[in-house]
Structure 1
Amino acid sequence: MKTDRTHFLLNSGKLYRKDNNIYFDKYAEDGTVLNTKIIPINSINEIYILGKVELDTYTMAFLSTNNILIHIFSHYGSFRGNFYPNSPNSVNKSGFVLLNQVRTFDDEIKRVAIAKEITKARMINSINNCTKRGVKFQSNTHLEALRNAKNIAQIMACEGAFAKEYFTKWNEIIKNQKSFKFTTRSKRPPIDKINAFISYINTRIYNVCLSEIYKTELDPRISFLHEPNYRSLSLHLDLAEIFKPILGDNLIFNMLNTGEITPKDFQIDAGRIKFTNEAVQKIEIKMIKSLTTQVKFENNFLTYRQIIRREANQIKKFICENYPYEGYVN
């Protein structure tokens, strides 16, 4: 199996540059160094920091030079921000693409066309999750409503109605209804274990999509389905809608139904539900396997990371060349 060039720092410690490589000192509770791990610079694409980690500007400059992204999370597992390189090795952002991206956002016909394709792909991929598990889902009403939607507000309403019904089907898919019965979607903070699992996985997919958008000429601040509003980045939220059912929901169903994740993998910290470090490691092994497994796509075999980046580039071709865009369906 191909390895993913993603590294997770779950423990307290120090990340630093030494001899043109990256090292991580893992700390004990008293601040002493338990062990040191070398992370070869050519084996890194991105770093997820989930522990309390010391990081200096000298090291950050070195990471930037090598085009490495950093995703930062709070002690409770909530996403807090990214560090994006701006160096000669970075993908150059095209003024031409930026102008066309802005014009497409302001063009209601083109924006609605992209938003509909993203939402349709999200619906079909979710329906496929139910179908392959023998769960019936009457989808025609939702897809017909989406076809008839005239603006973004109506599309979002269609998506919301679909999601509400789709989540009710989870209770037919997930076997352990005592511990993981779905009642309602809650995010900040999640009210139960199933919502904590969904939030963690969705955040992971958001960041994968953001990383792949970063490797294209698209500007991650300008989205089409979601309103940019005052958030700094939003295009990855659009892209993630397509891939959350494929990469996220399936991972959740499989890990719960095989008993790989149980109630013992969660802990309460200051009244908030979070995964143990051991659970995060189990989840990431599965996520990395999903992202690096090759699937047949048209006449090629691509990993899901490559498919996500291709999806971003297909949106770019639509906004710059009017090339027909269809959301990816698994």
Structure 2
Amino acid sequence: MSWKVTLPCTRAEAEALQVEDIALADLDPLPVLMTSERVPDDAEQWQLDAYFEEAPGAATIDALKSLVPSSTDAQPVIEEIVEEDWVTISQEGLEPVHAGRFYVHTESNKGDVPEGAHPIRIEASRAFGTGTHETTSGCLIALDALKRRGARFDNLLDLGTGTGLLAFAALHLWPRAHATASDIDPASIEVTRENAGINGVAIGGGAGELALAVASGMQHPLLTQSAPYDLIIANILAGPLVELAPSVADALAEGGTLLVAGLLDRHVDMVARAYRAQGLRLAQRIPRGDWPTLRFVKRTRYGPARTRRLSRGSGEAPGFGSW
């Protein structure tokens, strides 16, 4: 049994939502937050649905309202949901995603895999990255395009991996590469490990295997020892992308490729400036609604003192912090 609270909000509020917001810090477990349009193409007519394991009290409702200030005077809609959990609810209405050569699906919506497509099963879970969002599908399209142009990568990093989807896709395209997936959230690494088992991806430090690390940005021995990377994928947010620009650029090999997503159109110039300052050029912009994917290439005249790979280790590494 669970509970659902619905509040009106704006698109801007929806995009800014963070379940780790201090307003919800005293709630255990944290609610699951989902947003959607109430009126198509109306930025002022969105809604927030919050799912709780127990009936929310007045203080909880007030904390939820503080996340979407436009709902201050609104009457919340509170529903009891019997014999359903948030994973089931979040999957209702989800359609499989066909992006590039990849076909991302859940156990229940697989249907017929398109001819020539590579299926990846990713269930809705505690981590971001089921393929349905433009940021994730944009990265899948970018990876597919790189392969079609004949790109080859031997050492890659999925920074902020979420569910592991993009790392799995990259390993499918370059199956002999060394691959690392990291995330600041330990739950994401647990989910990635589970999804790796479902999709037949080996966990470890060898060629064709995926090494995992709970890491704050690039600050982890496994990430620094495995550098330089010839491909880095970072589907995170505009703020961390800018903050991490020096360390990400330093970990990228000369001539290497960086794919970034998680930013809105209005953030492109800011993110591009941050990476240009580190010797990367913007080679491609892939539009996906309001959420573009950017491809950067590191200029070969930069980075004479590059990090050298020391050891792949066991493929597992503890420790985490904040961006």
Query: Structure 2 length as normaliser, TM-score?
Result: 0.23
Greater percentage in helix: 1
Higher relative contact order (CA 8 A, sep 6+): 1
